Amino acid sequence: MKPAPFEYMAPESVDAALQLKARHGAGAQWLAGGQSLIPSLNFRCLKPDYVIDLNGLRELSYIRFESGQGVRLGGMTRYHELEHSDVIRQHAPMMHDAIPYIAHDAIRSRGTLGGSLAYADPAAELPTVTTALRARYLLRSESSERWVQAEDFFVGMFQTVMQPDELLIEVEIPLPKAGAAWGFIERSRRHGDRVLMGVAATLTLQPDGTCADARLVYQNGAPAPRLAPQAAASLNGKALTDEHIVAAAKQAAYEEIDPESDVHASSAFRRQLAFELTQRALRDARERGTAAISEEGAGA
């Protein structure tokens, strides 16, 4: 379990990193937190000619709140920085709640936001959470730059729309609307394990108690973060009654996701989990939304 030989490069600026990647293309691997790459190298599953280490790029590590716009997160921001950030707690509370589910402290002290997104493991938390939060990602190459919406970024298991010369620079999470509410819940066999099933629900609760903008995103429900648009649409314009929640959960779990069987659970059991967890996430969202409305009402 030792890696094959490779050339190690540690650029000191993003521009220098992008130049190297442009030169070496698919033969070079970005090294971010290394929590997935290093095992892949050690197992010799990956044998890149070059490894470009991003850990010296402090300019990619930041958490900024920009009023009127949202939260901006640098691609090399580590999980533990997100976990302990007041900005995240206040302005992206679902991400704040989801991060402790990511593996264990030691891994969270190394793993990065950009690394998790670019690796595109369907069982990972942050692809699902940022998709539910309607985030967008900034991709840059030596010659160009583009924004991609989270739901358009993931195309399959460990597959994204990123080109070999691109680097994930930043994640932007928009500010929530008034009445915005959310629920996130996952289950794994042991705490911190690869998730069996997870669901992130976001919605807006109108002052009259009806639901709008519902979005349901599943973690490990398919080869990429999977939205359940029909189940979500079925909730919009209605009060979030238990009956509607159960119906939406059923539709998402049994019609819209496509979970795999593996050594930990069958596909059928994963649907059962999705059914159960969707109900809980939506009830949590209802509770938070109701509290938000009454707070706003009290403030007015």
Partner 1 sequence: MSVQCVGEPILRNEDERLLKGDALFTDDVQLPGLLHAAFLRSPYGHARILSIDVEAARQSAGVLGVYTAKDIGSLMNPAPLIVPPPPIEGLVFNQRTHTALASSKVRHVGEPIAMVVAESRYLAEDAIEKIHVDFEQLPVHLDIEDSLQAAESFVHDDLESNLAAHVVQRRGDYEKAKAEAHRVITRRFTYDRGIAAPIENRCVVADWNRMGKRLTVWDTTQAPIPIRNGLAGMLGLTENQVRVIAPHIGGAFGAKLMAFYSEEMLVPWASMQLERPVRWTEDRHENFYSTSHERGQVHEAEIAVDQEGHILGIKDVFIHDTGAYNNYGLTLPINSQCCLLGLYHIPSYYSEFRVAFTNKTLVAPYRGAGRQHGVFVIERLLDSVARELNIDRAEIRRRNLIPPDAFPYDHKIIYQDFAPLVYDSGNYEPVLRKAMDMIDYDTFIRDVQPRLRAEGRRVGIGIVTYAEGTGIGPYEGARVQVLGSGKVLVVTGVGTQGQGHYTSFAQLAAQQLGVDVTDVEVVTGDTDQFHWGTGTFASRGAVVAGNAVNAAATAVREKVIHLAADLLSVSVDEIDLVDGKAIHRADPEKSMTLGQLAAAANPTRGAVRPGTEPGLEATRYFGPERGTTAFGAHAAILEVEQGTYQIKVLEYVVVHDCGKVINPMIVEGQVHGGVAQGIGNAFLEQLVFDDQGRIKNANLRDFLLPTALEVPRMKCGHEETPSPLNPMGVKGTGEAGAIPVGPLFAQALDDAFSDVRLEILDIPLNSSTLWHSVQEQGENQVAIHEWT
Binding site for partner 1 (CB under 8 A): 1-5, 43-44, 187, 189-191, 193-194, 196, 262-266, 268-269, 272-273, 275-277
Of 4 and 178, which CB lies nearer to partner 1 in the complex structure? 4
Instruction: Report the C-alpha gap between 166 and 30 in whole angstroms.
Output: 10
Per DSSP bridges, beta strands 197-205 and 145-149 are unpaired
Q: CA dihedral in degrees (9, 12, 16, 18; nearest 10)?
A: 70
Beta-carbon count within 10 A of 61 CB: 18
Instruction: Report the C-alpha gap between 248 and 214 in whole angstroms.
Output: 11
Residue 266 beta carbon to partner 1: minimum distance, rounded to whole angstroms: 5
Of 193 and 284, which CB lies nearer to partner 1 in the complex structure? 193
Residue 134 beta carbon to partner 1: minimum distance, rounded to whole angstroms: 28
Please say whether the dihedral angle defined by the alpha carbons of residues 25, 32, 140 and 199, taken in this order, is positive or negative. positive
Of 146 and 189, which CB lies nearer to partner 1 in the complex structure? 189
Residue 263 beta carbon to partner 1: minimum distance, rounded to whole angstroms: 4
CB 28 within 8 Å of CB 51: yes
Residue 25 beta carbon to partner 1: minimum distance, rounded to whole angstroms: 24
Of 263 and 300, which CB lies nearer to partner 1 in the complex structure? 263
Residue by residue, DSSP assigns 30-87 as: EESS-TTHHHHHHTTS---SEEEE-TT-GGG--EEEETTTEEEEETT-BHHHHHT-HH
Of 57 and 277, which CB lies nearer to partner 1 in the complex structure? 277
Residue 155 beta carbon to partner 1: minimum distance, rounded to whole angstroms: 24
